[in-house]
Amino acid sequence: MDEEYDVIVLGTGLKECILSGLLSVDGLKVLHMDRNDYYGGDSTSLNLNQLWKRFRGEDKPPAHLGASRDYNVDMVPKFMMANGTLVRTLIHTDVTKYLSFKAVDGSYVFSKGKIYKVPATDMEALKSPLMGLFEKRRARNFFIYVQDYNEADPRTHQGLDLTRVTTRELISKYGLSDDTVDFVGHALALHRDDRYLDEPALDTVKRMKLYAESLARFQGGSPYIYPLYGLGELPQGFARLSAVYGGTYMLNKPECKVEFDMEGKVCGVTSEGETAKCKKVVCDPSYLPNKVRKIGRVVRAIAIMSHPIPNTNESHSVQIILPQKQLGRRSDMYVFCCSYTHNVAPRGKFIAFVSAEAETDSPQSELKPGIDLLGSVDEIFYDIYDRYEPVNEPSLDNCFVSTSYDATTHFETTVTDVLNMYTMITGKTVDLSVDLSAASAAEEY
């Protein structure tokens, strides 16, 4: 281990693994270590025995739930937007050759106590029971504006500068009701709270276009895809990629103490008495606790069920977004479900997650609106974890710390953090203009 590396990466969470892969492909000499004896860090996948041990303190789950090895339960469950940044990053690094994807069946939104399919195009808006007749026409006109909008072609802007006009101003031009604004902002543009309304509209329009383009990609019921066998496949795919480019992986390395020189710059990492020298360290917050601050908590329920979520058209995989305003909260709640069709549970079993940013001192009870949508459950577990963000100045200490995973059930926020870190580390941006057909999703298994 007594060698010098360009970068040492600590932790094999998804963010760290993507960065390790990107940096290895760039030709940097990378050492990747983890104190755990498994891949994935906080974003690992557990089989049934591991799940039981973690939440029940024993490793003997009831036999009626099926074989332990048939379960791959993600601790940070998130779907991928078919044309989104993560898929582009996977293709850019060629990790797609290690993974198989399958389209997600449904995308729903919670409104006035019920769940509805999210209308994403002008035609779907006309059919949606979410809106009355006149509102449908207004929404259709707005959707047509968004679909036709091209940043490079001022003729499509209708005289509006979306870098100046706020989302609230753009929406008021079309006279949309609050409930319509709710599903557009939260279920299509995937904003986590309502701050976006007073920010420039360009970001929201781009997000809506990404949703519609991703939806059109596989002609399915949602814009999302998800790897067969769950997200645990992703860190392993990036580990293989890194190894192909000469990166070194070491699991089960206790302590992993980051060493600094006299100027406070990182100079190496020590584990089991050996020190590997390096110029930069990339890690999750748990490896440098004195360089991060707590910014909140995520509360999550994990349910094993024997049926799909009711009122989702029998969808075997689905996302439901519960916008903050519908629940009287400050941030959204998310429901995520997948099943044996994505090879994450035995035949006939479904795994559902309900997650949210904790806003009170009794976070479990906050999840009730989401749990009420699930119907009967065979088993339910609760998980609460603190979220951290870095407070250090990487230009001074050469430490690049990722932000903890948020409550969202899609990857757009996660990848933004990764790409920003990559630019800080290398001074470059990742070229994401890739051939999207390289990540195809299997139709049926």
Q: What is the C-alpha to C-alpha distance for residues 399 and 279, in angstroms, rounded to an integer?
A: 9
The number of C-alpha atoms within 13 Å of 264 and in the hemisphere containing its C-beta is 7
CATH code for the part of the protein at 48-105+294-387:
3.30.519.10
Written as one string, the DSSP assignment of 16-52 is HHHHHHHHHHTT--EEEE-SSSSS-GGG-EE-HHHHH
For 198-252, how does the pLDDT look when each residue is reduced to its tens digit (9 = 90+)?
999 999 999 999 999 898 887 778 999 999 999 988 888 888 888 889 899 999 9
* Distances, alpha carbon 397 to alpha carbons 52, 191, 264, 292, in Å: 40, 33, 6, 13
Q: What is the C-alpha to C-alpha distance for residues 57 and 62, in angstroms, rounded to an integer?
A: 14
Nearest to 142 by CA among 177, 171, 182: 171
Residue ranges of the chain with per-residue pLDDT less than 70:
1-2, 438-445
| Domain locations in the chain as residue ranges | 4-44+231-292+389-428, 48-105+294-387, 117-217
The pLDDT score that the predictor gives to residue 440 is 64
Q: What is the C-alpha to C-alpha distance for residues 85 and 22, in angstroms, rounded to an integer?
A: 14
| Single pTM value for the model | 0.91
**What secondary structure letter does DSSP report for 308?**
P
CATH number of this structure's domain 117-217, picked from the four choices 2.60.120.260, 1.10.405.10, 2.30.30.280, 1.10.3720.10: 1.10.405.10
Q: Which CATH superfamily is domain 4-44+231-292+389-428 in?
A: FAD/NAD(P)-binding domain (3.50.50.60)
The pLDDT score that the predictor gives to residue 58 is 83
Q: What is the C-alpha to C-alpha distance for residues 430 and 312, in angstroms, rounded to an integer?
A: 37
Q: Which pairs with CB-CB distance under 8 Å and at least 24 residues apart come from 169-175?
A: 169/201, 170/201, 170/204, 170/205, 171/142, 171/197, 174/138, 174/139, 174/141, 174/142, 174/145, 175/138
